[in-house]
């Protein structure tokens, strides 16, 4: 799987690694469910603003890889084949990317933000178009930002793929991309797919679609819609229709939907539902949303232990299926207290006259009504179950939580855990970055160090009067030391994490970083000092001295790991004393040396 | 207005096409401030630039209308489809910046007019902001349009003022035909502001969208061309009136304009109390008209570029981005005007100058699109058309460059 935004403008190299050009576009032959890529459109010169020139076509068969960091060909540059684009063929970037998707009535829906390609049995094919915000950020090269945003905010940043079978590019070259599924054809799709499309529509249109669908399909579609959007659609549908849809759903899903609505509205819908179903839903609504009670469905089948296998199978045949799948059959006593579980397999293989009480497995795992959903998920995962029964304090079976009820809980938990990990880990350490970016990344920490320095300076200043010493010396000592030590430590840590770098490269990189930061800090401190003391010469000398000291600190700090490695000392232990001592000494000498020089002069 | 006149008036308004509306709304508070300052400071010396600006406006408006009719798509749509996400963001930032600046100058216009009438800006501006927001969001679109057009008619008061004040015909002709350039920062600022207010970026987006919305075909483009040209003539004439009025009065008497209220009050000895009230009323009407259209046009253009839901008939939840942009533009503009002690006239002038500085960026996009044969077919710009377009863009970019140099230079000298 690769996105067109990832590969456009990548260099194209032949089988010997020699560059033949840059990827400008891909040709597809429409018609298939997943159109095949027939050729790569390549321009010999680096693409710039405006239309690329000298385009040539490389047949798809000669393209070996189609992913970052470069597009590789199977053949040498001399052996490149030619490809004559056919009349009906489309160019992915030119004809699809950024185009408007309209529905069959010509209404605007969304923009094509990206195009997804997949390698199917050795052939590259177009999988669909991505219409989500995430794809938009990806186009800007900010997909990592999207990941971070997605973890921090309740914004939906997944891929939003519309598969190719649902779309058709309109005849004219400049026209929009049309959704081929009309509202009536929508019904033939899987409810999950309809939900994906409906989510993209304005509520009024989406509601119209939901109203037009068969009630059962509409109900299932509603259940598949993103939880945040469900209530919005449900509240737009006419009450009578809405209550019908709710009746179609398993009670737990109906309860989930209603719990997101304002109470008066939920109450009105409940009053319109059939009494029996409404009672089930009402009961579920009383349980906390994040507990087994809130997640379970009450629409289950339980077996009396005195039933025979034959009777059980007959009951199963007659029972109305479809609301929930049957994973396990739970066996209860006269008071509906949970006794054991019978698998369908055990039931089918047992002799017809056997009592279910005799073939049941009594080591059944259950959870309480108020068990936290995370715990339920943990139980299901631990015992490898498809469903777990929920019992009240008396052990009476109240319902079942199935694995799909808690699947999203498991995912939420996992995402949380990953988020925490990422938050605490040093993000991006060791990545090759430009000095400017590196400087920007580290400037915040230095700011904190500067603040610490200013505070420490204040403490020293308090002693300046009683000691009758030149105030400046006392004030600026901790400020200078804090700044240079902080930068030295940063450079040390980052260079150490990168590892294996040559001294010369490290020195050049850190020199540049130190240059940026030194210039910045020197300016800030010089301006601050000038506005405070009004002594321009002193401020300038201090600023220059501090700037130079910071360059020195970055270079020394960066080179230290390699140098220390060469001396066979333990870098973790040696770093602090050695680097700090050297950096501090040189920095103070630089700053005060400069100041006293200009003072004397 | 008397009730019996209404049907006739409405019939007249129905004939007004998007070109006329866009151009009329272009003569807004910032425009009044810029033209009045130009007339008061340099007399007839900037009239030649007004002529060039109007010709350029005609050129660009015609191009946009033609693009709308040929492709059936708005300008944002085309920029997004032809240049991709990154360039679209640049174009939209330029548009947002320019529109924010102009909206700010509209609210500054409201504040100025209110202060002429003796109402504090801290009351008038928030009221105007709420009014504009409410009219657009809560009113139906039809009635919104009627409100806007009704307000636009207040512009006529400028023309009346021009008729009352005696003019020197020969000096006017010289001003139009002989370019007189003063190598001063103020002159460059006014020149860029004048270009920026005559050819406001938002007008281009608005016009093209209107042409698309009305479903005008390129085959019936003749009428639209007339509509566009008459819009330019009307806008140019109103601007001409403002400049000549202030040139004949304030410039003659050597009165420097330090606020738009000065300009209004300075008209009093010449044209009596009537001129002062007209000036303020016209300013208020123009400001309210443009401050209703501008945030709306901004929101439409940006949402169109990014494929977001956009319509005044939707609720906030249905089109969050649309309403956020619309409301945000109003709130930011309104807040800027309420900063204590901010000089309103300069604020309006700077707003229009920023418009002028950002204009060349958008012109590059527009002319690249209009020259694209694949996009425009036989309606693409020809060689001469292209040459003129690029010449104009280069000239405007040069003017903006001169302003930047003189501003930056002014900071250090």
In this predicted structure, what is the pLDDT of residue A126? 85
In this predicted structure, what is the pLDDT of residue B134? 83
Contacts of B374 in chain A (CB under 8 A): 173-174
B159 vs A417 pLDDT, higher one: B159
Q: Flag if A98 and B89 touch (Cβ within 8 Å).
A: no
CB contact set of B55 (below 8 Å; sequence gap of 6+): none
Whole-number mean pLDDT of chain B? Answer: 82
Rounded to an integer, what distance in angstroms lies between the CA atom of residue A244 and that of residue A216?
A: 9
A111: nearest CB among B89, B307, B317: B307
Q: Which of A4, A111, A235 to mutate to test the interface with B (most CBs of B within 10 A)?
A: A111
In this predicted structure, what is the pLDDT of residue B73? 86
Contacts of A113 in chain B (CB under 8 A): 85, 307
Mean pLDDT score, B38-63: 92
In this predicted structure, what is the pLDDT of residue A442? 67
Q: Which of B298, B347, B328, B388 is nearest to B34 (CA)?
A: B347
**Cα of B365 to nearest chain A Cα, Å:** 11
Does A301 contact chain B (CB < 8 Å)? no
In this predicted structure, what is the pLDDT of residue A558? 83
C-alpha B68 chain-centroid distance: 20
Contacts of B306 in chain A (CB under 8 A): 111, 136
Q: pLDDT at residue A394 above 90?
A: no
B71: nearest CB among A110, A139, A174: A174
Q: Flag if B317 and A113 touch (Cβ within 8 Å).
A: no
Does A72 contact chain B (CB < 8 Å)? no
* Environment class of A88 (CB within 10 Å of its CB; exposed 0-12, middle 13-18, buried 19+): exposed
Q: Which residue of A has its CA nearest to B369?
A: A50
Q: What is the ipTM of this complex?
A: 0.73
**Cα of A53 to nearest chain B Cα, Å:** 14
Q: How many CB pairs under 8 A join A and B?
A: 41
CB contact set of A25 (below 8 Å; sequence gap of 6+): A8, A40, A41, A91, A92, A93, A94
Contacts of B85 in chain A (CB under 8 A): 98, 113, 136, 139-140
Confidence grade of residue A422 (pLDDT, cut at 50, 70, 90): very low
In this predicted structure, what is the pLDDT of residue A431? 44
In this predicted structure, what is the pLDDT of residue B289? 78
In this predicted structure, what is the pLDDT of residue A424? 30
Q: Flag if B86 and A140 touch (Cβ within 8 Å).
A: yes
Biggest CA–CA distance in chain B, Å, is 62
Report the predicted TM-score, pTM, of the whole model to 2 decimal places: 0.60
Helices (H), B117-200: 121-137, 141-152, 156-164, 169-177, 185-198
Confidence grade of residue B63 (pLDDT, cut at 50, 70, 90): very high
Which of A524-556 are b and which e, b meaning 16 or more Cβ less than 10 Å from the residue's Cβ?
Answer: ebbebbbeeeeeeebbbbbbbbbbbbbbbbbbb
Q: Which residue of B has its CA nearest to A133?
A: B306
Q: What is the pLDDT of residues A118-137, one digit of tens each?
A: 887 778 888 888 887 788 88
In this predicted structure, what is the pLDDT of residue B75? 92
Q: Flag if B307 and A50 touch (Cβ within 8 Å).
A: no
**Cα of B364 to nearest chain A Cα, Å:** 11
Q: Flag if A202 and B309 touch (Cβ within 8 Å).
A: yes
The token duo for B230 is: 């008459």
Contacts of A140 in chain B (CB under 8 A): 85-86, 89
Contacts of A143 in chain B (CB under 8 A): none
Contacts of B84 in chain A (CB under 8 A): 97-98, 139
Q: pLDDT at residue B393 above 80?
A: yes
In this predicted structure, what is the pLDDT of residue B370? 92
Q: What is the pLDDT of residues A199-249, one digit of tens each?
A: 766 666 677 777 777 778 888 888 888 777 777 788 778 888 888 888 888
A 157-196 residues with CB < 8 A to B: 173-174
The token duo for B377 is: 């077919």
Q: Flag if B317 and A173 touch (Cβ within 8 Å).
A: no
Peptide bond into A69 cis (omega under 30): yes
In this predicted structure, which of A246-255, A410-419, A570-579, B229-238 has the lowest mean pLDDT? A410-419
Q: pLDDT at residue B365 above 90?
A: yes
Q: What is the pLDDT of residues B296-352, one digit of tens each?
A: 889 989 988 888 877 766 777 777 888 899 999 999 999 999 888 888 888 888 888
Rounded to an integer, what distance in angstroms lies between the CA atom of residue B95 and that of residue B405?
A: 22
**Cα of A112 to nearest chain B Cα, Å:** 8
In this predicted structure, what is the pLDDT of residue A281? 82
């Amino acid at each position: 799987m690769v996105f067109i935004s990832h590969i456009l403008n990548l260099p194209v190299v032949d089988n010997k690694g020699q560059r033949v050009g840059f990827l400008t576009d891909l040709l597809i032959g429409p018609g298939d469910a997943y159109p095949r890529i027939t050729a790569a459109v390549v321009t010999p010169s680096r693409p710039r603003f405006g239309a690329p020139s000298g385009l040539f076509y490389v047949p798809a068969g000669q393209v070996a890889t189609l992913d970052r960091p470069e597009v590789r060909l199977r053949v040498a540059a001399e052996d490149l084949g030619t490809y004559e684009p056919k009349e009906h063929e489309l160019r992915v970037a030119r004809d699809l990317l950024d185009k408007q998707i309209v529905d069959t009535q010509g209404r605007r829906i969304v923009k094509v933000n990206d195009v997804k390609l997949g390698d199917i049995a050795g052939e590259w094919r177009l999988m669909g178009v991505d219409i989500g915000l995430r794809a938009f950020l990806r186009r800007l090269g900010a997909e990592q930002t999207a990941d971070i945003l997605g973890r921090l905010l309740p914004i939906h940043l997944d891929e939003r793929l519309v598969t190719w079978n649902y779309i058709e590019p309109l005849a004219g070259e400049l026209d929009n991309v049309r959704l081929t599924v009309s509202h009536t054809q929508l019904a033939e799709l899987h409810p999950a797919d309809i939900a994906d499309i409906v989510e993209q529509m304005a509520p009024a249109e989406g509601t119209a679609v939901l109203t037009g669908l068969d009630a059962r399909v509409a109900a299932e579609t509603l259940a598949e819609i993103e939880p945040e959007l469900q209530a919005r659609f449900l509240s737009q549908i006419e009450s009578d229709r809405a209550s019908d849809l709710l009746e179609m759903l398993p009670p737990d899903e109906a309860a989930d939907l209603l719990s997101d609505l304002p109470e008066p509205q939920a109450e009105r819908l409940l009053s319109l539902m059939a009494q029996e179903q409404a009672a089930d839903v009402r009961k579920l609504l009383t349980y906390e949303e994040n507990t087994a009670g809130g997640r379970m469905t009450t629409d289950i089948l339980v077996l009396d232990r005195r039933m025979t296998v034959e009777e059980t199978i007959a009951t199963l045949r007659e029972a109305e299926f479809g609301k929930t799948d049957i994973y396990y059959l739970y066996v209860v006593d006269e008071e509906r207290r949970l006794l054991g579980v019978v698998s369908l397999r055990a039931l089918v293989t047992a002799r017809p006259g056997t009592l279910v009480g005799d073939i049941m497995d009594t080591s059944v795992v259950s959870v309480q009504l108020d068990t936290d959903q995370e715990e339920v998920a943990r139980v299901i995962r631990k015992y490898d179950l498809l469903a777990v029964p929920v019992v009240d304090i008396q052990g009476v079976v109240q319902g079942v939580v199935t694995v799909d009820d808690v699947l999203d809980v498991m995912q939420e938990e996992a995402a949380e855990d990953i988020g925490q990990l990422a938050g605490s880990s040093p993000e991006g350490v060791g990545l090759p970055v430009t000095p400017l970016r590196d400087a920007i990344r580290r400037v915040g920490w230095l700011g904190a160090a500067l603040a610490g320095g200013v505070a420490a300076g204040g403490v020293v200043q308090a002693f300046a009067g009683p000691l009758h010493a030149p105030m400046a010396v006392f004030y600026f000592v901790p400020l200078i030391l804090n700044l240079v030590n902080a930068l030295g430590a940063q450079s040390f840590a980052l260079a150490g994490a990168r590892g294996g770098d040559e001294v010369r490269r490290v020195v050049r990189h850190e020199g540049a970083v130190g240059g940026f930061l030194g210039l910045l800090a020197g300016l800030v401190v010089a301006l601050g000092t000038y506005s405070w003391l009004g002594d321009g010469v002193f401020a300038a000398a201090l600023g220059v001295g501090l700037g130079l000291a910071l360059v020195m600190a970055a270079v020394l700090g960066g080179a230290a790991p390699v140098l220390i490695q060469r001396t066979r000392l333990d870098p973790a232990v040696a770093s602090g004393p050695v680097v700090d001592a050297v950096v501090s000494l040189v920095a103070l000498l630089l700053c005060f040396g400069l100041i006293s020089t200009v003072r004397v002069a | 207005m008397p009730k019996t006149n209404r049907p006739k008036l409405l019939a007249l308004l129905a004939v007004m096409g998007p070109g006329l509306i866009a151009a009329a709304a272009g003569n807004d508070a910032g425009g009044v401030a810029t033209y009045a300052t130009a007339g008061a400071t340099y007399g007839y010396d900037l009239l030649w630039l007004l002529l060039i600006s109007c010709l350029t406006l005609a050129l660009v408006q015609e191009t946009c209308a033609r693009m709308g009719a040929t492709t059936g798509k708005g300008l944002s749509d085309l920029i997004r489809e032809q240049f991709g996400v990154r360039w679209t963001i640049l174009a939209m930032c330029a548009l947002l910046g320019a529109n924010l600046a102009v909206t700010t100058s509209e609210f500054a216009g409201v504040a100025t007019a209110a202060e002429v009438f003796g109402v504090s800006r801290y009351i008038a501006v928030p009221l105007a902001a709420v009014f504009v927001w409410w009219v657009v969001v809560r009113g139906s679109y039809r009635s919104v349009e009627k409100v806007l057009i009704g307000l636009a008619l207040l512009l006529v008061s400028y023309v009346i003022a021009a008729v009352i004040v005696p003019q020197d015909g020969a000096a006017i002709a010289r001003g139009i035909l002989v370019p007189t350039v003063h190598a001063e920062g103020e002159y460059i600022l006014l020149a860029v502001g004048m270009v920026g207010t005559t050819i406001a970026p938002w007008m281009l987006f608005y016009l093209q969208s209107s042409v698309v919305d009305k479903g005008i075909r390129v085959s019936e483009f003749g009428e639209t061309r007339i509509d566009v040209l008459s819009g330019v003539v009307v806008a140019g004439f109103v601007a001409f009136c403002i400049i000549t009025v202030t040139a004949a009065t304030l410039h003659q008497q050597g009165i420097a304009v330090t606020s738009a209220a000065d300009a209004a009050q300075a008209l009093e000895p010449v044209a009596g109390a009537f001129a002062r009230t007209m000036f303020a009323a016209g300013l208020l009407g123009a400001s309210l008209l443009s401050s209703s259209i501008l945030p709306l046009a901004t929101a439409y253009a940006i949402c169109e570029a990014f494929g977001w839901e956009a319509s005044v008939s939707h609720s906030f939840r249905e089109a969050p981005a649309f309403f956020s942009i619309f409301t945000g533009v109003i709130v930011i503009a309104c807040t800027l005007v309420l900063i204590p002690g901010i000089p309103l006239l300069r604020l309006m002038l700077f707003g229009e100058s920023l418009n002028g500085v950002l204009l060349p960026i958008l012109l590059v996009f527009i002319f690249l699109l209009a020259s694209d044969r694949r996009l425009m077919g036989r309606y693409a710009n020809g060689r001469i058309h292209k040459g003129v377009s690029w010449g104009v863009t280069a000239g405007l970019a040069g003017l903006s460059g001169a302003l930047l140099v003189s501003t930056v230079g002014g900071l250090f000298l």
